[in-house]
């Protein structure tokens, strides 16, 4: 269904891509595989088997047991990342010639499919920006820890991948500045928002954290509403859905839908010692499931001279197959609407708003609902089809196929009660007001083409 793609190349014509690709031809990152037990400063705890850093900071790999009434599998256990501190994912923005400008970082991460990706201005865990590692502080950090008065456009706590993290949240921030008052380092660059969003079509170039923060960009930043008749180009219809009217009645209906799902479904999660997680085995190199499915925990040793710390070891999570994140959308009445799904995952106690489809196909014995409609849609219905990867600081070469499929207006679709049709505006309101949209849906919303 999907295989690892070739790295991006500078001949695709984009100045940003050429800038990113420069990191591929330098010694900015070297990653070497090592067994988990050989990781410097990491060890399996004798009592629990949990994998921890000697400082007790950064993150740990632990076990959980899950009992759930949601989904087809009702009971299982698994490893999970425990990282309780709240990091900062921050973008500096400024007014430019006809378009907002974003200060993008060319950040190298050990798990990136490409060496460098277009990342937020600041992308740092609490342990990193408080310098537990003994290195330097990330540049531009002060704009987010002590922003100028009235400059904060977005400051929201958003959940990370709740299938892999236990309750992990990051602070998504957007701060407005004057571009000519901000010094620009060699690994940062001002990029117009439309050019940045065009990287969604460039394999593994647009960092997941960038997508998450961009999804929080207020609707007012996109300008006035545009008429979007049924025969208008798709970006114009997306723009119409983004700027559509959204009153409290709509938001109350969405909140009631989530409340019903929270009451209907349950998921009980208990902590387990990693050594007691059923079906998972450490073979002296990696920790993996005996079936060969799901994911594995592996070790890497890194040299990255351009980072705040030039060398370190750490575990990473690698999926055992590429994933799919997809939306079905349809012109319903005068407005384009997207089919969202209520999602309940072990790292989060509440139902979140997710995309129509999020799955790793190799992990499913039965075909997930709407998989064929999204993955095998005719080309004439596909509005977005791109490959981007998970965040490379915790996940190793873990790709996702991002797909948006538009159904013709006259095609009926039988939608179960845990699905709901929403405008882009309503999804954005759920992101901004309530922080209840999962990272998979936020990632896809950020990649939608929006008319100029």
Helix (H, G, I), strand (E, B) or coil at 346: coil
Does 45 map to a domain?
A: no
Q: Return the structure tokens found at 278.
A: 């059923």
Does 131 map to a domain?
A: no
- Please name the residue ranges forming H helices in 309-406: 371-375
- Separation of alpha carbons 150 and 297, rounded Å: 43
Region 407-429: what's the mean pLDDT?
Answer: 96
In tens, the pLDDT along 96-147 reads 888 899 999 999 999 998 899 999 999 998 877 666 655 678 999 999 999 9
In 3D space, the residue among 432, 372, 434 whose CA is nearest the CA of residue 403 turns out to be 372
Instruction: Say what the pLDDT of residue 84 is.
Output: 86
In tens, the pLDDT along 266-283 reads 999 999 999 999 999 999
- Separation of alpha carbons 167 and 165, rounded Å: 6
- Please name the residue ranges forming H helices in 43-90: none
Instruction: Say what the pLDDT of residue 3 is.
Output: 37
The whole-angstrom distance between residue 106's C-alpha and the CA centroid of its chain comes to 17
Number of folded domains in the chain? 1
Does 315 map to a domain?
A: no
Q: Are strands 51-53 and 42-44 parallel, antiparallel or unpaired?
A: antiparallel
Beta-bridge mates of residue 201 = none
Give the percent of the chain with pLDDT over 90.
80
The whole-angstrom distance between residue 412's C-alpha and the CA centroid of its chain comes to 31
Is residue 104 within 8 Å of residue 189, measured between CB atoms?
Answer: yes
Region 379-394: what's the mean pLDDT?
Answer: 96
Q: If you average pLDDT over every residue of the chain, what do you get? A: 92
- What range does the domain containing 251 cover? 234-266+321-446
Helix (H, G, I), strand (E, B) or coil at 356: coil
Please determine, for residue 9, whether its predicted confidence score (pLDDT) is greater than 80. no
Confidence of residue 26 (pLDDT cuts 50, 70, 90): confident
Instruction: Say what the pLDDT of residue 25 is.
Output: 73
Instruction: Say what the pLDDT of residue 134 is.
Output: 59
Does 399 map to a domain?
A: yes
Does 408 map to a domain?
A: yes
Confidence of residue 389 (pLDDT cuts 50, 70, 90): very high
Instruction: Say what the pLDDT of residue 221 is.
Output: 86
Instruction: Say what the pLDDT of residue 6 is.
Output: 45
Residue where the block lists tokens 């950040």? 107
Instruction: Say what the pLDDT of residue 378 is.
Output: 97
Q: Return the structure tokens found at 342.
A: 């209520």
Region 176-196: what's the mean pLDDT?
Answer: 95
Describe the crossing of helices 208-215 and 439-446 by its angle, rounded to 10 degrees: 80
- Separation of alpha carbons 310 and 85, rounded Å: 23
Instruction: Say what the pLDDT of residue 28 is.
Output: 84
Please determine, for residue 187, whether its predicted confidence score (pLDDT) is greater than 70. yes
CATH number of the CATH domain containing 435: 3.90.79.40
Region 372-390: what's the mean pLDDT?
Answer: 97
Does 255 map to a domain?
A: yes
In tens, the pLDDT along 297-339 reads 999 999 999 888 899 999 999 999 999 999 999 999 989 999 9
Q: Are strands 169-176 and 152-159 parallel, antiparallel or unpaired?
A: antiparallel
- Separation of alpha carbons 180 and 201, rounded Å: 30
Burial class (CB in 10 A: 0-12, 13-18, 19+), 406: buried
Does 173 map to a domain?
A: no
Does 357 map to a domain?
A: yes
Helix (H, G, I), strand (E, B) or coil at 171: strand
Please determine, for residue 246, whether its predicted confidence score (pLDDT) is greater than 50. yes
In tens, the pLDDT along 57-76 reads 899 999 999 999 998 889 99
């Amino acid at each position: 269904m999907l295989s690892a793609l070739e790295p991006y190349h500078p001949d695709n014509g984009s100045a940003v891509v050429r800038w990113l690709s420069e990191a591929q031809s330098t010694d900015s990152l070297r990653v070497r595989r090592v067994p988990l037990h050989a990781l410097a400063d990491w060890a399996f705890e004798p009592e629990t088997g949990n994998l921890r850093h000697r400082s007790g900071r950064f993150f740990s790999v632990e076990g959980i047991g899950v009992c759930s009434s949601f989904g087809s599998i009702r009971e299982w256990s698994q490893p999970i990342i425990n990282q309780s501190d709240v990091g900062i994912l921050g973008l500096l923005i400024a007014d430019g010639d006809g378009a907002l400008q974003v200060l993008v970082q060319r950040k190298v991460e050990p798990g990136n499919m490409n060496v460098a990706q277009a990342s937020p201005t600041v992308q740092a865990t609490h342990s990193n920006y408080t310098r537990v590692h003994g290195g330097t502080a990330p540049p531009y950090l002060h704009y987010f820890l002590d922003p100028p008065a009235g400059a904060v456009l977005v400051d929201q706590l958003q959940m990370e991948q709740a299938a892999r993290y236990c309750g992990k949240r990051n602070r998504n921030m957007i701060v407005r500045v004057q571009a000519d008052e901000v010094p620009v380092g060699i690994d940062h660059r001002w990029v117009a928002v439309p050019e940045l969003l065009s990287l969604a079509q460039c394999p593994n170039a647009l960092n997941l954290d960038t997508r998450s923060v961009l999804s929080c960009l207020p609707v007012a930043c996109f300008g006035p509403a545009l008429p979007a008749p049924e025969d208008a180009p798709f970006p114009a219809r997306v723009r119409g859905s983004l700027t559509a009217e959204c009153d409290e009645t709509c938001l109350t209906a969405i909140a009631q839908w989530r409340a019903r799902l929270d009451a209907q479904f349950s998921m009980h999660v208990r902590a387990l010692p990693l050594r007691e997680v059923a079906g998972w085995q450490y073979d002296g190199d990696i920790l993996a499931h005996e079936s060969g499915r799901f994911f594995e925990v592996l070790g890497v040793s890194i040299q990255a001279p351009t980072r705040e710390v030039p060398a370190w070891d750490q575990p990473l999570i690698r999926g055992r197959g590429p994933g799919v994140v997809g939306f079905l959308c349809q012109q319903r009445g005068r407005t384009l609407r997207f089919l969202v799904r209520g999602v309940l995952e072990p790292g989060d106690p509440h139902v979140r708003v997710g995309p129509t489809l999020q799955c790793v196909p190799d992990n499913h014995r039965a075909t997930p609902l709407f998989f064929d409609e999204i993955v095998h849609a005719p080309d004439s219905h596909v509005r977005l089809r791109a490959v981007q990867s998970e965040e490379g600081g915790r996940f190793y070469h873990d790709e996702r196929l991002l797909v948006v499929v538009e159904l013709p207006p006259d095609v009926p679709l039988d939608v179960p009660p845990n699905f709901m049709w929403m405008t882009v505006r309503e999804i954005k309101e759920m992101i901004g007001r309530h922080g209840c949209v999962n990272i998979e849906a936020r990632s896809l919303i950020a990649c939608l083409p929006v008319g100029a």
